[in-house]
Homo-oligomer: A and B are copies of this chain.
Amino acid sequence: MKAIVIFYSRTGTTHSMAETIASTLTGEKFDVKLTTPEDVPVERLTDYDLIVVGSPTYYGTMAAEIKKVLDESIRVHGKLEGVVGGAFASSANRAGGNETTVLSLLCALLIHGMVIKGMSGGDHYGPVAVGSFDSTCEKECIRYAQELAALARKTRVD
C-alpha cells in the first residue's frame, strides 16, 4: 500500500502535522512519500492508495501553492475515482478559517471522485492546528492517519 502526504508550510506547524501523519502511515505498513508542492509527481498520483493534503489557512482556504497542485491534478482527472483521501490544516486562531480550509481541500478530493471520512470525536472534518502543533493536534493527526489507513485497506482500488 502506498500513500502520499502533500503539504505546504511556512512556519513549520503544517509540516509537523504532515510528518506525524506520514510516520503514522509508515507504522501502518504504508510506503509513504512526504512531499511539498514543487515535488508532487502529479502524473503519478494514480500510483497511490491514499492521498492526504495539508495546508495552512490563508484567507479561509488552502494556500495558493497547494491550490496550484490541485489545479494541475486535472491531468489525472477521473483516474483517482474511489481512492481514499484526507485533509488537514493549521491556522493562527480558532475560528480563523481552519474548518473552511479543510473543507476546501475535501471538496477538491470529492470532485476527483475520491473517498473521504470524518471523525465522530475531536476534529470532525480533519485534523487542525490552532496556533501551534501541540499534543492535542498530534493525537488528532495520529488517529486520523490510522482511520484513513484502515479505510484505504478496505477500499483498495485493484
A interface with B by C-beta (< 8 Å): 58-64, 67-68, 70-71, 73-74, 77-78, 80-82, 93-100, 102-104, 107-125, 127-128, 130, 151, 154-155
Contact = CB atoms under 8 A, between A and B. Distances in A.
B60 A121 contact: no
Nearest to A115: B117
B124 A110 contact: yes
Contacts of A113: 117-121
Nearest to A73: B59
Given A111-B120, A120-B111, A120-B113, A70 B58 contact: yes
A95 B155 contact: no
Contact of A59 (B100, B107, B151): B107
A134 to B, nearest CB: 11
Contact of A95 (B71, B116, B128): B128
18 contacts: A59-B70, A59-B107, A59-B111, A61-B61, A64-B64, A64-B70, A94-B130, A95-B98, A95-B102, A96-B124, A99-B100, A111-B125, A113-B117, A113-B119, A115-B115, A115-B117, A115-B151, A116-B116
